[in-house]
Amino acid sequence: MPPDLAQSQTEIHSEKWLLKTTWEAGLEVEYVVRASHDDWDTYEAGNWYGLSRWIEENPEHPERQEVIDFLHESQVEYFTYGREYFGWGCIYWRPGDRLSAMKLATLCYLRQNGKTLMVHRIKKPNDVHEGKWNGLGGKFEEGETPEECARREIYEESGLRVRKLTLKGFLTFPLFAYDEDWYAFVFVGTELEGSLIESPEGILEWIDDRKLMELNLWVGDRIFLPWLDRPGFFSGKFVYQNGELVEHSAVHYD
């Protein structure tokens, strides 16, 4: 059954829904097979099995999280599109690490002379932020503090060194990308050193603060960006479905 049709039914669900639900329950896909061994299920599942074994055998490898991300992305793509008309299949599950479906990240807004440095995400293929304007930042590396992650990501994405970071908030994005929860520490950075480079993430541009809302931003960004100018600290939750903001809430602290 096509996912769109399945999702419109109250008693029948798509395989993508099944994948998401079992991840939330702390399970991982071990294998998926059909009656015939000569099929795409067997081919794809063999790749997943090899990746799963590598993940289990290399718990301390610095690229382990990248492999987990790749595995989950390939499973979402296959269950959403690859198996759309394949019919029945047997899916084997195993207990997994729920933390593998959670991502810690930083989101940083560099400011100087009444402008904010933004990146237009138009370079990377299959970018969940494709076409949007974002602040800088990215995922934590093992053992990093939020500040260390922010400084590293800023330098890698812009070539700039930031001398002053101010933690302004914390954002929660349930099941934001590839059915994973994202949690972001939000910083404002000032007192900058260095020169801009060609960013691997997109096109960098200093935007007049008065014109930020004219950019193609995520709807939630339009809500929390003004909070950067308020005193205190905020904790916000933004729920997206199919790229659309459906719910949000926030708590502000003095």
Each domain of the chain, given as residue ranges in start order, spans 3-96, 101-248
d(CA 68, CA 142): 14
Q: How far apart are the first and last CA of the chain?
A: 51
Q: What is the mean pLDDT of residues 134-160?
A: 93
Is the overall model pTM greater than 0.85, yes or no?
A: no
Q: What is the mean pLDDT of residues 90-99?
A: 62
Kindly report the average pLDDT of the chain as a whole number: 84
| Contact yes or no for 154/160 (Cβ under 8 A) | yes
Residue 94: strand pairing partners: 28
CATH of 101-248, one of 3.90.79.10, 3.30.2020.30, 3.30.1600.10, 1.10.3720.10: 3.90.79.10
Query: Does residue 35 carry a pLDDT above 50?
Result: no
Task: Tell me the per-residue pLDDT of 60-93, one tens digit each, with 9 for 90 and over.
Answer: 788 888 888 888 888 888 877 776 655 656 676 6
Task: Tell me the per-residue pLDDT of 177-219, one tens digit each, with 9 for 90 and over.
Answer: 766 789 999 999 999 999 999 998 899 999 999 999 999 999 9
Query: Does residue 8 carry a pLDDT above 70?
Result: no
d(CA 141, CA 143): 6
Q: Does an H or E element contain 220, and which?
A: helix 219-224
Nearest to 137 by CA among 112, 89, 114, 169: 169
Which residues have a Cβ under 8 Å from the Cβ of 32 and sit 6 or more positions away?
A: 41, 44, 45, 89, 90, 91, 92
Query: Does residue 96 carry a pLDDT above 80?
Result: no
